[in-house]
Structure 1
Amino acid sequence: MGDEDLPVIRAAVLKIGTVNWELQTILREGLDREHGFRLEVQGYADTAATHLAVQGGASDLAVADMIWLARQRAAGRDYLFIPYSRAVGGLVVPEGSPARSLADLAGGKIGIAGGPLDKSWLILRAYARATHDMDIAADTEQVYGAPPLIYRSAVGADYAGAINYWHYLARMKAEGMRELISVGEAAQALGLDPETPLLGYYMREAFLGDNPGLAQAFYEASRAAKDLLGRSDAAWDALRPLIDAQSQAQFAQLRADWLAGVPPRGPVDPEGARAMFALMHDLGGRALMGDAAQIPPGLFAPVE
């Protein structure tokens, strides 16, 4: 079968999104063709545009978190989740901060990227309540802002602590900030499985029905790229222009944190996902979960 006969997966991604690190590795190494498909990467300016591209049929694949996809499937969209990453945020404090736990942030300001329903913030609120008997939302002042703004202000020591997306946190740590607690640690303390991949690729069930085996083929290419990035300095060096690190320390931290977010191979553990889903429903309610009171049947693609 020639390349022109292979099924095509059109991936809608942010032009500067970190998912490009994996997808460009797939393309550079020919892992798509090796696994029986052709990948085409389409760059968009914002996340909403990537979702609209899939919804409207201009693209076949994008990335989203499990909660958003559950909401979409509960609303009638036939999206299937394919594990991508368990990389989530955390809370960092300025270099030299005396804080050793969330309780030490009482009375201070916390900068938060993503708004009051940010999933990292919700999990850390639950953790503070369970571990320190603390209502951290009442005991601190929250300042919400876009990730770059939270990044700049936090590095400038404007906050007692800050919550941001994982790749901004990596840059913040490289510039001297210290992680007080990761969302993974907090989730584990709450009895959740930290291996649950909260971020996934998604494709429409109808598209995959027309292309039997394509979900597994894409997953194999994704895992092959992850395996390569787990062992190859050269593979990371090829990504330097995309990563755009401002220092070697930033580059090393971004690489380490990306690799730390690689989930174990295999399908999503339904029990772990249900436990995470139940906590998010308890913390965020309808404002976060929409009509998805529980994980909709068939959300997870049957990849192995």
Structure 2
Amino acid sequence: MITMTRRAALVCGFAALLAATAPARAQDLPVLTVAALEGGTVSWELDTITHYGLDAANGFRLEVLPVAGNPAAEVALQGGEAEAIVTDWVWVARMRAAGKDFTFLPYSRAVGGLLVKPQSGIMDLADLKGKKIGIAGGPLDKSWLILRAYARQTYGMDLAAETEQVFGAPPLIMEAALSGEVDAAINFWHFGAKMQARGMETLVSTSDAAAALGLDPETPLLGYVFSEKLEADKPAVVAGLRAASKAAKALLASDDAAFARLRARMKATSDAQYLALVAGYRAGIPVDAPVDPAAADRMLKLMADLGGEELLGPVKALPPGTFLSN
């Protein structure tokens, strides 16, 4: 049975009232252009914002610039084609160290983990010695780095040296793991959800590994990224984006019908996959609280230790201003 909380109903009701009473005014609102992968998970929230009028309700008009992937989004942001994108704060830290003024507004803390087949006989990370791990994010994937640090601390094991890594696009890594071509896999969270729906299990979640390392698993990895100049020139638009994102998350967290509307966009091939994607998105909604810069600094230093200059350039500590004024 489809349910809607009172809060979600109020959000929808207000948006509908706004659309009915002031359609002409929407064209007069300041525009915010966000570059995002067409059909990617970020589009679920952006589509929800525009469909329910949450942008207009918060004083701006959202326009989405479709791009082919995260590198293209970063190019669009730096080139001025887009005013905001969704990416990780580690990239923001590197850009700020290079003199750029980008800053970060939390979007999601969904990062996944390492998955195996239940019949694989792999009970912990030590069982991976000599085996193949498929990794979707490349050798500098943040989950991979955290799991490497966790294996080193917990088992005295160098995962990079004692396993064979296979890098590839998320769909290829998913199929390689399901077919047994690799023994374990680290994938983007939504592909991880699809893999779980097809019978794979989480051996170690990135959140659990982070907590064991003394990091804060609540630190959001992904966020809306834009320039401080945008905040200075259009403070109401930035405040509106924050409010619209919060309202969209509240709706998607509580209203099953709001997610059902997105089902075709989510490309779920079964009910199990659809439900896993909904649960994964909801689990990744960050807490509505300031980001702890000390916790983020600890995570960044771990990344610098394992990812080195290839990941972070000269960055050794969290640059001030990485997170939008908490």
Matched residue, 2:39 = 16
Matched residue, 1:296 = 319
Aligned-pair RMSD on alpha carbons?
1.3
Q: Distance in 1 between matches of 2:244 and 2:77?
A: 20
User: What runs of 5+ residues in structure 2 fail to find an aligned partner?
Assistant: 1-21
Shift of 1:198: 0.8
Shift of 1:292: 2.0
**What letter corresponds to residue 176 of structure 1 in structure 2?**
G
Matched residue, 2:131 = 108
Check whether the contact 1:83–1:267 (CA below 8 A) recurs between aligned residues.
no
TM-score by length of 1: 0.96
Q: Distance in 2 between matches of 1:175 and 1:212?
A: 45
Does structure 1 residue 216 correspond to structure 2 residue 255?
Answer: no
Check whether the contact 2:110–2:284 (CA below 8 A) recurs between aligned residues.
yes
3-state DSSP class of the match of 1:107?
A: coil
Shift of 1:12: 0.4
Matched residue, 1:96 = 119
TM-score by length of 2: 0.90
Q: Distance in 1 between matches of 2:256 and 2:112?
A: 25
Give aligned-pair identity as a percent. 53
Q: Distance in 2 between matches of 1:172 and 1:36?
A: 40
Matched residue, 1:287 = 310
Check whether the contact 2:59–2:236 (CA below 8 A) recurs between aligned residues.
no
**Counterpart selection for 2:153 from 111, 118, 130:** 130
**Counterpart selection for 2:76 from 42, 45, 53:** 53
More divergent stretch after superposition (292-301 vs 36-45): 292-301
Matched residue, 1:238 = 261
Matched residue, 1:193 = 216
**What letter corresponds to residue 270 of structure 1 in structure 2?**
P
Q: Distance in 2 between matches of 1:48 and 1:128?
A: 30
Does structure 1 residue 181 correspond to structure 2 residue 204?
Answer: yes
Q: Distance in 2 between matches of 1:94 and 1:203?
A: 40
Does structure 1 residue 86 correspond to structure 2 residue 100?
Answer: no
**What letter corresponds to residue 295 of structure 1 in structure 2?**
L
More divergent stretch after superposition (210-219 vs 275-284): 210-219
**What letter corresponds to residue 183 of structure 2 in structure 1?**
A
Shift of 1:54: 1.4
User: What runs of 5+ residues in structure 1 fail to find an aligned partner?
Assistant: none
Q: Distance in 2 between matches of 1:122 and 1:155?
A: 23
Check whether the contact 1:215–1:301 (CA below 8 A) recurs between aligned residues.
no
Matched residue, 1:272 = 295
Shift of 1:46: 2.0
Shift of 1:266: 2.5
Q: Distance in 2 between matches of 1:298 and 1:129?
A: 31
Shift of 1:213: 3.1
**What letter corresponds to residue 24 of structure 1 in structure 2?**
D
Cα displacement string for residues 60-84 of structure 1 (whole angstroms, at most 9, x for unaligned residues): 1101111111111111221110000
**What letter corresponds to residue 55 of structure 2 in structure 1?**
D
Q: Distance in 1 between matches of 2:75 and 2:149?
A: 33
Q: Distance in 1 between matches of 2:159 and 2:274?
A: 32
Cα displacement string for residues 70-112 of structure 1 (whole angstroms, at most 9, x for unaligned residues): 1111112211100000011310002312222111111211111
Shift of 1:146: 1.6
Shift of 1:236: 0.5
Q: Distance in 2 between matches of 1:213 and 1:92?
A: 42
**What letter corresponds to residue 150 of structure 1 in structure 2?**
I
Matched residue, 2:162 = 139
